[in-house]
């Protein structure tokens, strides 16, 4: 089964972390990625920009509107997600326990349909900060 | 619970909680002290049981009760009904009743108080770092390269001045809200520039000031997510800050923009800044921060200094001049005009600025470079020498001395007779 691993936390708290703590957090993410990567069970690694960069389109009776900010104002925000292949929910839960979980929440949601897409900047499919 | 996370949670909560306590007590020291005490209690309680669902409300309630207790103790013998503070029932769930607008007004009041226009600029930035960002006085003193005692005095003086400034605690009108937003945005940019325009050798310390300014800009934008100018402010700070690793050479000296290794620019920051700018421009409410961010973005897009789209920069400076007339903006436009239309056109833009900018390092530096390009050697040398008498960072003065050498003259200024 392909699972999405949706990472939620409070942006302002993440923002208050020191550089060392950010690094420690990143190390745990890299550790999380190791096994799925080796076993070729890593579908996607996605880190989102802060919610302040988002706009939300809403349908309305007269015309669609483009609103600033994320879809919902919540205490915790979606910060990023993974797609990983796991043999069972239990295995997914065990795998996700490698992620930093001191605050926030990680939602594991099975994927109903997935298509890798058709992406002109293909191989290797990586967009990152230097 | 991990102490790092606890402390990050507390510093993230700080602006919100101090803002609410400031609303109750109308006194910065009291608000800060009660937040401090509430945080200590939180460390004990949350360390064992974890952070409650709404940690911010918890801190506000506890902080408020601490303040009320103190007040009761102090006024045991003189208490009368008139002097009893705000609400008599300490359990009132005030926090739950706050709607989003009150929350924004609370925060904006605190930000505006710290950046109050009657305070001198250095006091504004010091106070913002102390009260909102929660930096210790020692940290702020170190960042500004002054003695701890000096910084303590600066903050005390600022707080005393605020006591006399009489800041309204009523909900602001929309015009007042705009005015407050503008003052706060300006102060945040000022803080950013404090870090950005550091002199040589200090620059590495001052990166932290830029980061605090960016944090404050993020906070402000989260509060007012639809304000185009705040998007512009954050965008501008992010794009400027993207160069921070390229701005220092191996010996810690500042490298000018045209000589920077663009491979060291932080593409992640540039990407976020560009997205914010694009989002802001869609709203069609141009303002000085958006235009400056657009200029920074043009530089960021150029893979080499030679590929810079100077014609676009000329247009943007002309636009900036219209919304925010200033001789320094004209000076910057002249630099861009020189790249597009040549030194003579740029020089004619400078002439009317003489009276206003004759005490300004960059004015003489730019003028000297233009005169040198036109082959007017003696005038160029005179302008460069004038520049050297008007400050400039180490990198900038080195640059000017090189120019003087290129003209075959002695870069060491003769001491005044």
Q: Does B11 touch chain A (CB under 8 A)?
A: yes
Q: Which residues of A touch B135 (CB under 8 A)?
A: none
Q: Do A49 and B275 touch (CB under 8 A)?
A: yes
Q: Helix, strand, or coil here: A5?
A: strand
CATH number of the B4-98 domain:
1.10.1740
A47 to chain B: closest CA residue: B268
Q: Which residues of B touch A13 (CB under 8 A)?
A: 5, 8-9, 12
Q: Which residues of A touch B9 (CB under 8 A)?
A: 10, 13, 16, 103
Give me the mean pLDDT over the B95-112 stretch: 76
Fold exhibited by the domain A2-48+75-110? Alpha-Beta Plaits (3.30.70)
Domain boundaries, chain B: 4-98, 100-165+174-225, 341-417
Q: Does B212 touch chain A (CB under 8 A)?
A: no
A with B: how many residue pairs have Cβ under 8 Å apart? Answer: 68
DSSP B352-409: GGHHHHTT-HHHHHHHHHHHHHTT-HHHHHHHHHHHHTT---HHHHHHHHHHHHHTTS
Q: Does B332 touch chain A (CB under 8 A)?
A: no
Q: Do B8 and A53 touch (CB under 8 A)?
A: no
Q: Does B282 touch chain A (CB under 8 A)?
A: yes
Domain boundaries, chain A: 2-48+75-110
- B146 CB burial (10 A radius; 0-12, 13-18, 19+): middle
Closest among B46, B51, B55 to B17, alpha carbons compared: B55
User: Greater confidence, B131 or A119?
Assistant: B131
- pLDDT band at B204, cuts 50/70/90? low
Within 10 angstroms of residue A51's Cβ, the number of other Cβ atoms is 21
Closest among A117, A94, A85, A104 to A4, alpha carbons compared: A85
Q: Do A68 and B271 touch (CB under 8 A)?
A: no
* ipTM of this complex: 0.88
Q: Does B266 touch chain A (CB under 8 A)?
A: yes
Instruction: Report the predicted TM-score, pTM, of the whole model to 2 decimal places.
Output: 0.88
Q: Do B266 and A103 touch (CB under 8 A)?
A: no
Span A30-78, pLDDT tens digits: 999 999 999 999 999 999 999 999 999 988 777 778 889 888 888 899 9
Q: Does B267 touch chain A (CB under 8 A)?
A: yes
Span B239-284, pLDDT tens digits: 999 998 898 888 777 788 889 999 999 999 999 999 999 999 999 9
């Amino acid at each position: 089964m392909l699972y999405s691993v949706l990472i939620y936390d409070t942006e302002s708290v993440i923002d208050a972390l020191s550089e060392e703590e950010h690094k420690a957090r990143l190390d745990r993410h890299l550790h999380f990625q190791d096994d799925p990567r080796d076993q070729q069970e890593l579908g996607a690694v996605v880190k989102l920009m802060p919610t302040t960069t988002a706009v939300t389109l809403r349908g309305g009776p007269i015309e669609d509107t483009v609103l600033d900010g994320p879809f919902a104002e919540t205490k915790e925000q979606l910060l990023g997600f993974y797609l990983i292949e796991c043999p069972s929910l239990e295995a997914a839960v065990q795998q996700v326990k490698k992620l930093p979980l001191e605050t926030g929440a990680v939602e594991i949601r099975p994927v109903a349909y997935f298509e890798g897409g058709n992406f002109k900047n293909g191989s290797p499919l990586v967009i990152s900060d230097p | 619970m991990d102490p790092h996370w606890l402390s990050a949670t507390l510093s993230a909560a700080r602006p919100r909680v101090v803002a609410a306590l400031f609303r109750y007590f109308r006194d910065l020291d009291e608000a800060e002290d009660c937040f401090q005490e509430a945080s200590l209690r939180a460390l004990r309680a949350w360390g064992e049981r974890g952070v409650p669902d709404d940690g911010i409300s918890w801190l506000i309630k506890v902080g408020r009760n601490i303040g009320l207790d103190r007040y009761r103790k102090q006024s045991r013998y003189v208490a009368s009904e008139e002097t009893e503070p705000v609400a008599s029932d300490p359990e009132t769930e005030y926090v739950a009743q706050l709607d989003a607008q009150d929350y924004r007004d609370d925060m904006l009041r605190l930000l505006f108080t710290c950046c109050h226009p009657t305070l001198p600029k250095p006091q504004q930035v010091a106070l913002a770092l102390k009260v909102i960002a929660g930096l210790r006085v020692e940290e702020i003193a170190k960042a500004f390269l002054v003695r701890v005692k000096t910084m303590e005095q600066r903050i005390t003086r600022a707080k005393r001045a605020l006591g006399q400034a009489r800041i309204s605690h009523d909900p602001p009108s929309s015009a007042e809200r705009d005015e407050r937003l503008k003052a706060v945005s300006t102060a945040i940019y000022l803080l950013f520039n404090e870090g950005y325009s550091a002199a040589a050798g200090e620059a590495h310390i001052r990166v932290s000031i830029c980061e605090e300014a960016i944090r404050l800009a993020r906070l402000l934008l989260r509060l007012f997510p639809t304000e185009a100018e705040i998007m512009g402010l954050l965008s501008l700070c992010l794009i400027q800050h993207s160069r921070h690793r390229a701005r220092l050479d191996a010996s810690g000296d500042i490298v000018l923009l045209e000589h920077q290794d663009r491979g060291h620019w932080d593409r992640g920051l540039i990407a976020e800044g560009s997205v914010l700018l694009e989002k802001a421009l869609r709203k069609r409410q141009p303002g000085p921060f958006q235009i400056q961010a657009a200029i920074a973005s043009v530089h960021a897009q150029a893979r080499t200094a030679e590929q810079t789209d100077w014609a676009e920069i000329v247009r943007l400076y002309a636009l900036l001049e219209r919304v925010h007339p200033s001789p320094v903006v004209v000076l910057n436009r002249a630099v861009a005009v020189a790249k597009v239309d040549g030194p003579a056109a740029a020089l004619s833009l400078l002439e009317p600025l003489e009276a206003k900018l004759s005490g300004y390092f960059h004015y003489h530096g730019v003028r000297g470079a233009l005169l040198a390009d036109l082959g007017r050697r003696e005038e160029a040398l005179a302008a460069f020498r004038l520049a050297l008498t008007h400050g400039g960072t180490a990198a900038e003065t080195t640059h000017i001395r090189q120019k003087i050498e290129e003209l075959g003259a002695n870069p060491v200024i003769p001491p005044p007779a």
